[in-house]
Amino acid sequence: KNEVEQSPQNLTAQEGEFITINCSYSVGISALHWLQQHPGGGIVSLFMLSSGKKKHGRLIATINIQEKHSSLHITASHPRDSAVYICAAATGQGNLIFGKGTKLSVKP
């Protein structure tokens, strides 16, 4: 059974800090997704990656297939980055197995 583990569960940062959220998964996957969930509940897709690194604005996602590990980095964090960040592993069929999420709070 594939499990997805995230750390930390909760993270508080000061505005401007560099943030890292980690994700590990237990079996082979077709892709790894990073998602953002806002307090209202809506889920936004940030990245889908199967190798290497992707960057979008201040967000960077990396994945190491051999180590079954991925990280999400936020540079120059801002209070509007406050949300729950979720790592999800895609199976061969494309359905997602979700981690429990990391609740990020960025203080001004």
Partner 1 sequence: EPEVTQTPSHQVTQMGQEVILRCVPISNHLYFYWYRQILGQKVEFLVSFYNNEISEKSEIFDDQFSVERPDGSNFTLKIRSTKLEDSAMYFCASREVWGQFFGPGTRLTVL
Nearer Cβ to partner 1 (82/98): 98
- Quote the radius of gyration of the chain (alpha carbons, Å): 13
Binding string, 18-57, against partner 1, x = CB under 8 A?
Answer: -------------x-x-x-----xxxxx-xx---------
Is residue 59 within the footprint of partner 1 (CB under 8 A)?
Answer: no
Q: Is the CA virtual torsion 99, 96, 79, 61 positive or negative?
A: positive
End-to-end CA distance of the chain: 41
Residues binding partner 1 (CB under 8 A): 31, 33, 35, 41-45, 47-48, 86, 88, 91, 93-101
